[in-house]
Amino acid sequence: MNKIPHALSLGIFLAVLWVMLSGYFTPLLLFFGVVSACLVVYLALRMDVVDHEGHPVHLKIRLTVSYWFWLLKEIVISNIDVCRRILSPGMPISPVVIKIKSTQTTGLGHVIYANSITLTPGTVSMNVDGDMIEVHALTGEGAANLEAGEMNRRVMLMENYK
């Protein structure tokens, strides 16, 4: 497998992260950032951890960005719902544990789907066993939303787009 695109992508990501976190643009610090990013990429290549799952550059950027915007919207909606249920004692909380089928074809797809469930307030992925994900939902409505399959469909689209 060709690791060069993954290594380049990892290096660029690390360099940009360095600049964003440091906030300094002096030549010496930029040099240290580039050297640090190169050293980390070198070590990652030596440890053989640079692959399509560790740094998935094969996912199409357009679909990935649109998925993250959709997920961000879902996180905000779920956050508001959870806050309303906490602040309004009359709103029902009916915890439920369900198993949902994950139709992703790769391990990376299963991980993206399970992590997306956990990122959404009110739901937590408790266990992934093959193509089944065990989920704890704060309400029956949250469980029903997951069972409707919109998140599963969007992850599948992102994963399988060529």
Q: Specify if 149 maps to a domain.
A: yes
Q: Specify if 81 maps to a domain.
A: yes
Q: Specify if 53 maps to a domain.
A: no
Q: Specify if 136 maps to a domain.
A: yes
- For residue 20, give both structure tokens: 């964003």
Cα 128 off chain centre by: 15
153 with 85, same domain: the answer is yes
76 with 21, same domain: the answer is no
- By residue range, what is the domain housing residue 39? 4-46
Q: How many domains does the chain have?
A: 2
At 74 the pLDDT is 95
Q: Specify if 51 maps to a domain.
A: no
Confidence of residue 23 (pLDDT cuts 50, 70, 90): confident
In a 3-state reduction of DSSP, which class is residue 90? coil
- To the question of pTM greater than 0.85 for the whole model, the response is no
pLDDT tens digits, one per residue of 24-80: 889 999 999 999 999 999 998 999 888 766 666 556 666 678 888 999 999 999 999
**37 exposure class (CB count in 10 Å sphere: 0-12, 13-18, 19+):** buried
35 with 98, same domain: the answer is no
